[in-house]
Amino acid sequence: MDQNKAEIAKDFPPFFRVHKNGLIDRYIHTDFIPPSQHPQTLVQSKDVIISQQNKLSARIYLPKSAVSNNHTRKFPLLIYIHGGAFSVQSPFSSIYHTYLNNLVSESEVIAVSVDYRLAPENPLPACYDDAWSVFNWVFSHSGKKIQDFPGPGKPEKPEPWMSDHVDYTRVFLAGDSAGANIAHDLLVRASSKNLKLEGMILIHPFFGNGKKADKLWEYIYPGTSGVHDPRLNPAAHVNLLKKLSCKRIMICVAEEDELRKRGWYYYESVKRSGWNGEVEIVETKGESHVFHLLDPCCENAGIFMKQVASFINKIGFSAL
């Protein structure tokens, strides 16, 4: 027997494996791109510390027009949660930094890209709590009292990009894969505080299908309630869905993605729930999971970018 294999306690390719001595190896190594002014889009970015305690941070993106409008115009806000099976990737990687620069430019939004603690070193619900802390930090700049949104997100100093440029009546949540799962949890929490958002964009969401538990999910979330955990399988909770406090939801699936059926199941459940809002689903033909991140220059990625931007700006969109 291979000695290396004998020493492995858990293996979840292509994400990570855990050795019997507790050592964690990741199959995917994430690079780091510093904030900057993007040379093609002229989008500016900066990193902010949200909580020293958890080393929680985020990257903020400012569109070109926000830099030159002398603070007279307010922009929609997009809170974005990166994917990666709760265990890999970062908002500071080249994949997500490139995507957010392009999305901010195309949509003309302010974006906050959340850096949450990764599993398995930080078991779930750490990622959910980190995202909620950033959410609180964001809304602490809105003029609302922070006690209305309990959590550790109150800033020591206000961030001018948030105070000067954001229209807090037009806030969107978005994420891909596991990030879409986390974004949905944020909306559930915000709904419990009677805070109404403009919309939510779920890109190739990682949800359960109610048939069997996901082994990775079980390992990184030891406190899960199982196959129908509302965080894993919100489609099974009609009362939760009908209370979602946003105006519009966009669900994005890809024809060749193994998670495609989960996105459709969620869409159909929202439709059946009696939720009082607009829900749409967009399916990209001939593409697989997060194709737009892996091949951002392909034709379908460009079309998909415009569909997301159109949803944010309420221009309207159509499926491929």
Which residues partner with 56 through β-bridges? 51
- The conformational region for residue 19 under phi > 0 = left, psi -120 to 50 = alpha, else beta, is beta
- Which candidate in 177, 192, 225, 245 is catalytic? 177
Angle, alpha carbons 270-196-153 (nearest 5°):
115
By DSSP bridging, strand 56-62 and strand 44-51 are: antiparallel
- Assess contact for 244 and 183: CB atoms under 8 A: no
Query: Which two three-digit tokens encode residue 181?
Result: 């799962």
Spacing of C-alpha 11 from chain mean position: 25
Locus of tokens 């080249």: 94
177 noted as active-site residue: yes
Locus of tokens 């949540």: 173
Q: What DSSP line would sit under 26-56, residue for residue?
A: ESS--------B-TTT--EEEEEEEETTTTE
Query: Rounded to whole angstroms, how far apart are CA atoms 37 and 246?
Result: 32
Edge-first strand listing for the sheet containing 24-26:
8-12, 16-19, 24-26
Query: Which two three-digit tokens encode residue 169?
Result: 């009546």
Those residues with Cβ within 8 angstroms of residue 319's Cβ, 6 or more apart along the chain or in another chain: 281, 282, 283, 284
- Assess contact for 117 and 131: CB atoms under 8 A: no
Query: Which two three-digit tokens encode residue 12?
Result: 């979840």
Residues designated as active site: 177
